[in-house]
Amino acid sequence: MDLMPENEKPADHTPIGLNVAAPVVAAIARDFSQAMEEGLVKKSGPLKMLPSFLTRPSGREKGLFISLDFGGTNIRVQVVKLEGNGQWQILKMQSLPLRDPRGQYDLTLSTTSAEELFAFLADQIAALADKETRYSLGHTFSFPCNQIAINRAELIQWTKEIRTAGVEGQEVGLLLAEALARKGLQNVRPVAIINDTVGTLLTAAYLDPCADIGTICGTGHNTCYWEPSLNQIVNMESGNFDRLPVTIYDLELDKESEKPGKQRLEKMVAGHYLGELARLIAVKQFGTFLPPYSLDAKGLAQLIAGEDSSLLGLQGQETARVKEIGLELITRSARLVAATFLGVLARIDPGLESRHTIAVDGSLYEKMPGYAAAINKTLAEALGEKAPLVTTKLSKDGSGVGAAIAAALAEERFL
């Protein structure tokens, strides 16, 4: 679906059509602001604008918490001590992949049941929790959920190609509580469920009062922000934004994906898809032979950084060409993502009068060569002399600490 009006379309500066020129960035930012309004007011359009029931923390939240982080790649459990002065300590941590690299298990398949998945999560919690200590648990669950209360969220649909059976449409908190009860973990009480973007923002805001946008640029992509009219953090599920100039490769990737028509922005910008887009382009343009999804973002990063990429299955000349495509794809990703940030800024501070910190987590922003710089360059280009008011900042592992902060905020409310 190509929704960009014909007269606003950019001239293609690359044969593949990956260039996102400044006027296109501006047009996307405008359309994004518009979609935010539609989502908030009319509950329609591509942005779900989901409530979190959380506002920004004061930085004084304190206590010992367990955080469970379920993203798209790993399951991470942490025991987190919030110290109440904007500081924290991670006392214990355990992390396991959702798909065992040696093929022993895969929790993302449609043949895995919700019960098996949540039993696995409860096992990881049991391995870290002290039997004699009582914990409140904050759960980061990085998928679109209808949030009913701080501790109640129903999975709308899986994203990032996950297919585990029996979770869509279910209350994730209940599935976890049941699994914990079955393992006899009565000392662990789940009190908050949040999106990873919300966790990223909470972590940054624990220290920095200017933090009002939280985003993930990793396996998946999404952004949340603090909506002044609601005094609440809103999870936009911006990966589903779809008013974008697409190429034939985007259309092809979407058609072959688990959920065609959904998560169109995510499929153009996120780590799970960038390698596959590069592969599709290479197959069409140079007849490269590589199986679907055999090139991942890590491989692309190696290629771009000029590291040994002999294991990627590319032959001679192909290596240089795929590197080139990869560079164009990551620049496009960064520019599209930056355009959505500009859309949020235009809504929350139309005249751009105040300082804003955009808290970012995720492997693309952290590790992909040139990615963070391309986001910052796009913002600077669009904001001109006001650019110094807007800072992007890595909020590393923010989603785990953020779950602890959410649990502390939930306790304040419940007690």
Residues at the contact surface with ligand BGC, assessed by CB under 6 A: 71-72, 142-144, 159-160, 195-197, 216, 220-222, 237, 239, 266
What's the gap between Cα 274 and its chain centre?
Answer: 14
Q: Residue 86 class from Cβ within 10 Å (0-12 exposed, 13-18 middle, 19+ buried)?
A: middle
* Cβ nearer to ligand BGC, comparing 157 with 285: 157
Residue located via tokens 């501070």: 349
CB of 239 to ligand BGC, least distance (A): 5
Q: What share of the chain is helix, strand, coil (3-state, %, to 5)?
A: 45, 20, 35
* 288, 322 contact by CB (below 8 A): yes
* Cβ nearer to ligand BGC, comparing 52 with 197: 197
The conformational region for residue 213 under phi > 0 = left, psi -120 to 50 = alpha, else beta, is beta
CB of 402 to ligand BGC, least distance (A): 12
* Cβ nearer to ligand BGC, comparing 112 with 195: 195
* 380, 338 contact by CB (below 8 A): no
User: How would DSSP label each residue in 64-77?
Assistant: EEEEEEE-SSEEEE
* Cβ nearer to ligand BGC, comparing 17 with 144: 144
Q: CA 399, CA 395: separation in Å to the nearest integer?
A: 9
- Closest-by-Cβ residue to ligand BGC is 220
CB of 52 to ligand BGC, least distance (A): 12
* Cβ nearer to ligand BGC, comparing 48 with 347: 48
* Cβ nearer to ligand BGC, comparing 216 with 303: 216
Smallest CA-to-CA distance from 347 within 244, 270, 234 is with 234
**If you count them, how many residues does the chain have?**
415
CB of 355 to ligand BGC, least distance (A): 25
CB of 11 to ligand BGC, least distance (A): 32
CB of 199 to ligand BGC, least distance (A): 9
